Amino acid sequence: MFLFLQGVLTGAVRSETSVLYATLGETLGERAGITNLGMEGCMLMGACLGFVTMAHTDNLALSMMAAALAGGLSSLIHAFLVVTRRANQLASGLALMFFGLGVTGFIGRPYVGMKIRGLNELPIPYLSEIPFVGPILFTHDVLTYLTYLLTPLLWVFLFYTRWGLAVRAVGENRTVAYASGLRPSLIQYLAVFFGGMLAGLGGAHLSIAYTHMWVEGMTAGRGFIAVALVIFSMWHPLRGMLGTLLFGGAIAFQLQLQARGSRISPYILDMTPYLLTLAVLLLWGRTRKHAMPEGLKAVFEGVD
């Protein structure tokens, strides 16, 4: 039982990493008042281009950069459409999802089935030897460790810095932000860009570190789940980490069950992350609405 739990939790941290990146990115964007369902597309772009770069150069830093840029640049299309052209945020996000699916399908096709060395686990000496907690937290890859840093960093950024204040102000009310001497459009562009970069990194984790493979459409809705988890987390990075851990736990739990030859159909088990996300929103969605940045209400509550 002890080992099972440790296994589930270790797996949870590993499989949540990609979603956590996207959740952090989406938190940043939504705090600035922009929802991006295209996170799914950004993740795919990151996963694909990160993988392709890795396959050619075997250079981790370069791959990370490629992945982040792919995610960031493609999300700029979304920023242009919704900030400058005032298009519907949800529709534009979905268009970005289609775009990511198409482009990565095209670019990535020669790489399907290729196996790369990729990014492997790097247990941290001493720390990983702490009983129970050690293996859960400190036997992962560099990208996972990076989230330990990024999550609190985003939290401090949003709530304790002048810049974070500006981002949140834009998300609450563009006019007030403008009257306060800020440049709302610029801030939204930046937030969406960096959000997309984070999603790109998340995608890269999936292809380079988690599976060492590129498969068309491999994100399987993780981008959407991230958007849902942001609502659950009340637009807060630390709670976002908690939410993604829950999601990762569901995947890891199911994988552990399958590995132990459970009789439950794997297809039913595969549903858990989606159903869990829905359940979480059902249970806490309404009570958390009040924390929603004011600027998002028009997006999510067009009819009510």
Amino acid at the residue 120? N
Which is closer to other proteins, CB of 131 or CB of 302? 302
Which is closer to other proteins, CB of 240 or CB of 293? 293
Which is closer to other proteins, CB of 80 or CB of 148? 80
263 CB burial (10 A radius; 0-12, 13-18, 19+): exposed
Give least dist CB 112 to other proteins, A: 10
Which is closer to other proteins, CB of 145 or CB of 274? 274
Give least dist CB 139 to other proteins, A: 30
Q: Of 3, 2, 10, which Cα lies nearest the Cα of 251? A: 10
Cα separation, 163 vs 166, whole angstroms: 5
Give least dist CB 165 to other proteins, A: 6
Give least dist CB 103 to other proteins, A: 6
Distance of CA 204 to the CA centre of its chain: 11
> Which residues neighbour 251 within 8 Å (Cβ) at sequence distance 6 or greater?
11, 12, 15, 16, 272, 273
Which is closer to other proteins, CB of 7 or CB of 248? 248
CB atoms within 10 A of CB 185: 14
Which is closer to other proteins, CB of 9 or CB of 280? 280
Cα separation, 83 vs 72, whole angstroms: 15
CB-based contact 44:173 (threshold 8 Å): no
SS3 197: helix
Which is closer to other proteins, CB of 92 or CB of 139? 92
Cα separation, 210 vs 220, whole angstroms: 14
Which is closer to other proteins, CB of 126 or CB of 160? 160
304 CB burial (10 A radius; 0-12, 13-18, 19+): exposed
Give least dist CB 127 to other proteins, A: 28
The DSSP output letter for 207 is I
- Angle among Cα 90, 234, 295 to the nearest 5 degrees reads 45
The DSSP output letter for 127 is G
